[in-house]
Amino acid sequence: MLVLWRREMNSTTILYMRGLVITDTGILLGSVLTLTPIACADYLQTEALSHFKHLVYPALRTPAYYVVMTLQQINVWITVSVSVERYVAICHPFRAARLITRRNTVRVMLAIAAASLLYNLPRVFAYRTVDCDAAGAAGGGGNGSSGCLDVITTEFGQTDLYNFYRTIMYLIIIYVLPFLCLLVLNGFLLRELMSMQRRKAATSSKEENEANLSLVLVLIVVVFLFCQTPGLISQFDLIHFSLFIPWLGFSNFLFATNSAVNFLIYTAFGRKFRRVLLRVFRHI
């Protein structure tokens, strides 16, 4: 984060990357703070973990689910947007000066954030936290004496409309459309980068910097597609039930890994990022 917010890191692509860093960090924090204690509670029998599992987690589940799903959608569509930006910058350089501006970039990111916040609102109304006694009784009230909470599906959450939204629309908006856009855009981008490499002697330093930035993006997209594909597969009935839970755990692991690995890509392949990072460490 320190590097991407340095004054010299001021291109429109860096603005998108800042958005990716913020959403990646939010996804990681949400996953660690909610899922890790639950996983530990199954193996470590302590009063604190039991309290978290039975009282804290059920209360946090719905808002945390909404936040993580919203951040995931923002992250996915920022990845698509920065691919569009790189495609225009590399493949249509004469249009880039008019289309790629800080104002347009901020507008796109704000539109993505607003659309994601609104789109995921139905998830808030699909679940309700109740006392465990109430969860076992149809429409029961519960008096809070059982010492645990549970999350139940509301009537709205059981409707066909919500199930269509939760499954089919999620599949289209988070996987199918972004994957198609990323594959097409980055295919054109890779072809142009290879063409630039062949005529490297005639390439200016500015074009080399643009090409390096685009290469970093292509690698981010490749990792994104690799890490998200298991999640896409899990949306279909392609896996035997006995393997589904391990596969779901594997896909969730890759989902979190995708949010953690971008820094390594920036450092390994981004020349400007690496220079600024070294400069930051020298002043510490």
- Helix H, strand E, coil C: the string for the chain is CCCCCCCCCCCHHHHHHHHHHHHHHHHHHHHHHHHHHHHHHCCCCCHHHHHHHHHHHHHHHHHHHHHHHHHHHHHHHHHHHHHHHHHHHHHCHHHHHHHCCHHHHHHHHHHHHHHHHHHCHHHHHCEEEEEHHHHHCCCCCCCCCCCCEEEEECCHHHCHHHHHHHHHHHHHHHHHHHHHHHHHHHHHHHHHHHHHHHCHHHCCHHHHHHHHHHHHHHHHHHHHHHHHHHHHHCCCCCCCHHHHHHHHHHHHHHHHHHHHHHHHHHHHHCHHHHHHHHHHHHCC
- The one-letter code for the residue type at 68 is V
CB 262 within 8 A of CB 226: no
Q: Could you tell me the CATH number of the domain that includes residue 230?
A: 1.20.1070.10
Residue 241 lies in a domain: yes
Tell me the pLDDT band of 138, cut-offs 50, 70 and 90: very low
Burial of 76 (0-12, 13-18, 19+ CB in 10 A): buried
Tallying the residues shown for the chain, one arrives at 284
Residue 6 lies in a domain: no
Residue 147 lies in a domain: yes
Q: How many CA atoms lie within 13 A of 69 on its CB side?
A: 19
Residue 1 lies in a domain: no
Lookup: tokens for 44? 């470590």
Give the structural domain span for 78: 12-279
Give me the chain's average pLDDT, please: 81
The residue among 233, 259, 264, 265 whose CA lies nearest residue 75 is 259
Query: Average pLDDT in the 255-272 region?
Result: 76
Backbone φ and ψ for 137, nearest 5 degrees, come out as: -115, 135
Lookup: tokens for 225? 């597609």
Residue 109 lies in a domain: yes
The residue among 53, 54, 60 whose CA lies nearest residue 30 is 60
CB 231 within 8 A of CB 170: no
Q: What percent of the chain has pLDDT over 70?
A: 78
User: Does position 260 have pLDDT exceeding 90, yes or no?
Assistant: no
pLDDT of residue 277: 66
Residue 5 lies in a domain: no
pLDDT of residue 202: 52
User: Does position 9 have pLDDT exceeding 70, yes or no?
Assistant: no
**Helix crossing, 102-119 with 57-91: angle to 10°?**
150
pLDDT of residue 144: 46
Backbone φ and ψ for 128, nearest 5 degrees, come out as: -145, 140
Residue 60 lies in a domain: yes
Backbone φ and ψ for 224, nearest 5 degrees, come out as: -60, -50
Query: Average pLDDT in the 84-104 region?
Result: 88
Give the lowest-confidence range in 76-80, 136-140, 198-202, 205-209: 136-140
Residue 284 lies in a domain: no
Burial of 91 (0-12, 13-18, 19+ CB in 10 A): middle
- Domain count of the chain? 1
